[in-house]
Structure 1
Amino acid sequence: MRGVLELDPAVVRKARTLARRAGKPIVKLAQAHTTVAVERAVLRLAGLRGADPDTTPWVNRLLDAVRADVPLEHGISLPVWDALVRGEAEDLLTLAQKAGAGSVRFRVPEGRDAVRATAAARKAVGAGIKQIDKRRVERDRWLKRFPEPREKPWIYLIVATGDIYEDIPQAQAAAREGADIIAVIRSTGQSLLDFVPEGATREGFAGTYATQENFRLMRAALDDVSRDLRRYVRLTNYASGLCMPEIASLAGLERLDMMLNDSMYGILFRDINPIRTFVDQRFSRQIHARAGIIINTGEDNYLTTADAVDAAHTVTVSQLLNEYFAKEAGLEDWQLGLGHAFEIDPDRPESFRLELAHALLARELFPKAPLKWMPPTRHMTGDVFRGYLLDGFFNLAGALTGQQILLVGMMTEAVVTPWLSDRDLALQNVRYVLNACGNLYEDFRPTPDGFIATRARQVLSEAIDLLSSIGEDGLLDAIGDGTFGLMRRPADGGKGLDGVAKKSAAYYNPAVELLEAPA
């Protein structure tokens, strides 16, 4: 797809330079802070699981007990493993139970005690990192056993009933009908929970809770159907919200393949504090990089609140920022499922040509990335025939522009919860368009100075202007001013700010140390 729009390479380089300029201060901010979710993720990597009789996870109980004695700015690793080295408990779980009962006191060790605690923490967390490495090797073996066609887009389909035991047969049926990726949507509101539920869950609203046990069950079920179909079926969930680092760690431990992980989604659409989000997303992306997980970003959401034509350049800006943040955290091009969407008002003249311009721009700016192309939702009306046609045009746009992750649009999307029959019809729509079009993108060449190419260059120019402004004023101010999705989110507002702390000189995090160590 390279060169179709004849974008000026110097202009593209300028856009990336400006994105780096806007993103660097945010990276420094993230490096200088920690959060309760990052510290709980460290405990999870060290193997702490389970919950107390009131269903509060032990990682939360232990962190709360440590914070009662030691400020968050010092981190949790040294106080916890100092207590273990001192013989306060024989393992993490017992320590958490004693701490929850108030029978353990914590401190920041010094001298030899600090050295011993550091070594113990590094060993314990290192075991979790090794488990993530092992799960990545497992995935590589699956893909070697069942190689994939290079040109085939992945068909991405959502399954979520609220009951993990109902999700499993639906996911397996969807895979048999042609889905390559199963995304289990989280229960509404989970992103605002400052804890990760434990165990297999059977109650959820408009989705199923993301838990380690649910991840394990669905991964095993998709492995079973992968053997039957002789193709690897990928599993997706959501590393977003107040527990982003924890969920990312659990995804790595249970071999998920993709995770929704956008740098600004939680800020804009869940009103989570910007600093909390940027700190959490950097750590979560370091985990994803190590685990070989592909991230999906959320630029499509901007177009559900802002006009898809007027705000097209904000999508491009977000993609460039997401790319910078992701690569800084260690992700590679093949792991960047940058988002965009088919959301222009279908009654607008030339709407399809505008959609093609935006899709082609994303494809050419990120030629090595498996972009995630989202179906129409905002302008679905309940007219199922019109909706089915819109989804067909969406699938055609994907075929024309070489999209690699094609989320299946359903004719009742955003109107009612789709029936299973709606899903089957949607998969038929995808199969027909992709089979009929084949590699049509090889033949699609818009006129260099025509409508599509001109529109793409205009959007890129507007994105550069916005990035220049953000570089001068700062990304946090831009978010506070409502630049993205028309949402105003000040840096000192939002949920979760009380769980953020600036690192002290004594701060130590073995997970970050291991993840950032040279290969």
Structure 2
Amino acid sequence: MAPQGKLDLDPEVVRTARRLAARAAEPIIAMARSHTTVSVERALLRLAGLAGADDGGRPWANHLADAVAAQTGLEHGLALPVWDALLNGPYGSLADLARDAAAGRAAFRLPGGADAAKAREAARRAAREGIGRVDRRRAERDRLLAELPPGGPPGDGPPRPLIYLIVATGDIYEDIPQAQAAAREGADVVAVIRSTGQSLLDFVPEGATREGYAGTYATQENFRLMRAALDEVSRELGRYVRLTNYASGLCMPEIAALAGLERLDMMLNDCMYGIIFRDINPRRTFIDQRFSRQVHARAGIVINTGEDNYLTTADAVDAAHTVIVSQLLNERFGHEAGLSDAQLGLGHAFEIDPAVPESFRLELAHAQLVRELFPDAPLKYMPPTKHMTGNIFAGYLLDAFFNLAGVMTGQSIILIGMMTEGIHTPWLSDRDLALENVRYVRDACGGLAEDFVPRPDGMLVQRARRVLAESVELLERVSDDGLLTAIAEGTFGVTRRPPDGGKGLEGVVPHADGYFNPAIEILDAEDPNGPEREARA
């Protein structure tokens, strides 16, 4: 087959890369299918409606999961012991049972025979009801998108990239007016980043929060409040404004479930970010991420992956191929969990040192390569951060070049850069200027991506082919040695993370014969994007 696309990539090389990525991912998928974690089990409880916390802030879901684990273990799942106790005890709800469990007054067993069949059916009904609520929130989004379509150029021109802006003061009640102001100034996607360190908490905080460091806590109530605020401004503006948060860390599955229940639109959800940058155990992360992506697929949520982070610790030229390898792995893991191409917001970044000769041409080559490898994915392009020095004028110019690269290569989501990135947490005035920058470039360039065609066999084409070839070479090593070994050797982002190190390994449990989780059973059996979706909703 002849080379294709603006970069004349060899289709056979691309197929080889995907085949190797699938081979490298297969042992990880098998592990995720044969193990559970405490957070996967707690996510079932949350889908079944268990919410709230004790006076000390410890969630009832944690209390209930801990009590079951202590009495029966988790290798058979929480569902049978929990719903057996509900059916045979004096409990009107999961919350009643959890309170008794927290006080040491609840007894759990692994039922058999007819009792097991009854508990299994009751658990299935509860899981089906929770997943049904997720389905209804997805249908609600579909209706709002039809009623309030996102903005775009007039006529039949190509879609403009979505403008993605971060808001997070630590106080949800301060975040809300800032998010609404950002939407009025042109933001299409508002991301509420999490408070530093939340990914290391093995519980999800409860309620609306007003304190957080460099971010705002991800809680169900904070999700609800921000979603309502953005719906309000969406109706005011006549265009739907998307909401993003983070499904990562030790509570990744639970936060994914809460995001589906509260109709978030995008979630940061990367298969290796927590391992490399938060020292979360690799096994725990991969098991949790499969379930979380199943929920995202069902909820119609677009995931954002974190390959841009590799280039903050490794050289953006030398390590460009590690981004491609990670994207191919994220694609394979995402597809296996049910995500469509339209839900794969694969990440990359404009992070080459501006002092490198022809750095902009290199950036264009990398961005165009990603675009052509994943033509149907809503790619998320991240701005320069590593080489922002505090010179706000140079930073503003560098951000403009980033915006230009994003438009020229047809990126789907552009996270706006801040000229004060190297000085302080951006002020509202900084965000306003950054929005003005990206609006100007986006509107002035229009459909420039249609006209941008690299010279055949020119520098951009040669660079893209070289990065793809290096990606294939690395994928061959990873598929031979194993992905866990590659992570342990510091292949991605330089940092070394052994498979039995890091936080959260104690929460990983292999399935016993007869393991049962009705949420996984439903998500495994049903196509999240199939023709029956509207009927389910």
TM-score > 0.5 by shorter chain: yes
- 1:137 is aligned to 139
SS at match of 2:165: strand
Deviation per residue, 1:186-216 (Å, 9 max, x gap): 0000000000000000000000000000000
Deviation per residue, 1:459-503 (Å, 9 max, x gap): 000000000001100000000000000010000100000000001
SS at match of 1:26: helix
CA distance in 2 between partners of 1:165 and 1:260 (Å)? 22
- 1:501 is aligned to 509
Answer whether contact 2:148 2:235 (CA < 8 A) is retained. Answer: no
1:302 pairs, out of 302, 310, 325, with: 310
Which amino acid in 2 is paired with 1:215?
F
Answer whether contact 2:65 2:78 (CA < 8 A) is retained. Answer: yes
2:217 pairs, out of 179, 204, 209, with: 209
The reply to whether residue 272 of structure 1 matches residue 296 of structure 2 is: no
- 1:60 is aligned to 62
1:94 pairs, out of 93, 96, 101, with: 96
Which amino acid in 1 is paired with 2:506?
D
- 2:269 is aligned to 261
- 1:38 is aligned to 40
- 1:351 is aligned to 359
Which amino acid in 1 is paired with 2:25?
G
CA distance in 1 between partners of 2:118 and 2:422 (Å)? 55
Which amino acid in 1 is paired with 2:126?
A
The CA deviation at 1:414 is 4.1
Answer whether contact 1:88 1:104 (CA < 8 A) is retained. Answer: no
What is the root-mean-square deviation of aligned Cα atoms in Å?
0.8
2:401 pairs, out of 393, 406, 417, with: 393
CA distance in 1 between partners of 2:100 and 2:503 (Å)? 30
The CA deviation at 1:448 is 1.4
Deviation per residue, 1:63-82 (Å, 9 max, x gap): 11111101121111110001
CA distance in 2 between partners of 1:48 and 1:239 (Å)? 19
- 1:290 is aligned to 298
Answer whether contact 1:299 1:340 (CA < 8 A) is retained. Answer: yes
1:110-509 correspondence to structure 2 within 5 Å:
110-148=112-150, 149=152, 151-509=159-517
Answer whether contact 1:298 1:339 (CA < 8 A) is retained. Answer: yes
The CA deviation at 1:419 is 1.1
Q: Which ranges of structure 1 fall in alignment gaps of 5 or more residues?
A: none
SS at match of 1:295: strand
Which amino acid in 1 is paired with 2:464?
A
Answer whether contact 2:308 2:382 (CA < 8 A) is retained. Answer: yes
How many percent of aligned residue pairs carry the same amino acid?
71
The CA deviation at 1:415 is 3.1
SS at match of 1:78: helix
Deviation per residue, 1:493-519 (Å, 9 max, x gap): 000000000010121000001111134
SS at match of 1:284: helix
CA distance in 1 between partners of 2:184 and 2:402 (Å)? 23
Answer whether contact 2:270 2:305 (CA < 8 A) is retained. Answer: yes
- 1:28 is aligned to 30
The CA deviation at 1:104 is 1.1
CA distance in 1 between partners of 2:202 and 2:133 (Å)? 25
CA distance in 1 between partners of 2:405 and 2:313 (Å)? 22
Answer whether contact 2:149 2:239 (CA < 8 A) is retained. Answer: yes
**TM-score normalized by the length of structure 2:** 0.96
The CA deviation at 1:386 is 0.5
Answer whether contact 1:380 1:387 (CA < 8 A) is retained. Answer: yes
CA distance in 2 between partners of 1:202 and 1:452 (Å)? 48
CA distance in 1 between partners of 2:41 and 2:476 (Å)? 35
Runs of 4+ in 1 over 4 A off after TM superposition: none
Which amino acid in 1 is paired with 2:490?
G
CA distance in 1 between partners of 2:414 and 2:466 (Å)? 26
Answer whether contact 1:339 1:374 (CA < 8 A) is retained. Answer: yes
CA distance in 1 between partners of 2:160 and 2:473 (Å)? 36
CA distance in 1 between partners of 2:344 and 2:232 (Å)? 27
CA distance in 2 between partners of 1:389 and 1:479 (Å)? 36
CA distance in 1 between partners of 2:463 and 2:206 (Å)? 49
The reply to whether residue 85 of structure 1 matches residue 87 of structure 2 is: yes
CA distance in 2 between partners of 1:146 and 1:450 (Å)? 43
The CA deviation at 1:147 is 2.6
The reply to whether residue 517 of structure 1 matches residue 525 of structure 2 is: yes
- 2:530 is aligned to none
SS at match of 2:426: coil
1:12 pairs, out of 14, 18, 30, with: 14
CA distance in 1 between partners of 2:229 and 2:484 (Å)? 42
Answer whether contact 2:149 2:238 (CA < 8 A) is retained. Answer: no
Answer whether contact 1:186 1:210 (CA < 8 A) is retained. Answer: yes
